[in-house]
Amino acid sequence: MRGAGYGNYNLISSVNDKMDSWINRTGTNAAGYSNANGSGDCQTFHSNSKDNNVNFANSDEVSSWKTNGGC
């Protein structure tokens, strides 16, 4: 859980490749990446939105994320 405006951040190993839902309560789009350091497949976490069960293709793959813009 973070505010808007943060750059890329790598997930720790205990939650790496585990994300299956998200909520974005900020007014800024955020994004998650399948690989560390903002690389690989990207999915946008739209502002003021949520997804309780991420699409199969994007589930359990996020390894890094940012809150300063979408993909």
Residues in contact with Ca ion by CB under 5 A are 17, 34, 61, 63
Residue nearest to Ca ion (CB): 63
Expressed in angstroms, the distance from the first to the final Cα of the chain is 19
Bridge partners (DSSP) listed for residue 31 = 44, 66
Residue among 34 and 44 whose Cβ is closer to Ca ion: 34
Residue 36 C-beta: closest distance to Ca ion, Å: 8
Residue among 5 and 15 whose Cβ is closer to Ca ion: 15
Residue 14 C-beta: closest distance to Ca ion, Å: 13
Q: Is the dihedral of CA 46, 24, 47, 41 positive or negative?
A: negative
Rounded Cα distance between 39 and 30, Å, is 14
Residue 3 C-beta: closest distance to Ca ion, Å: 24
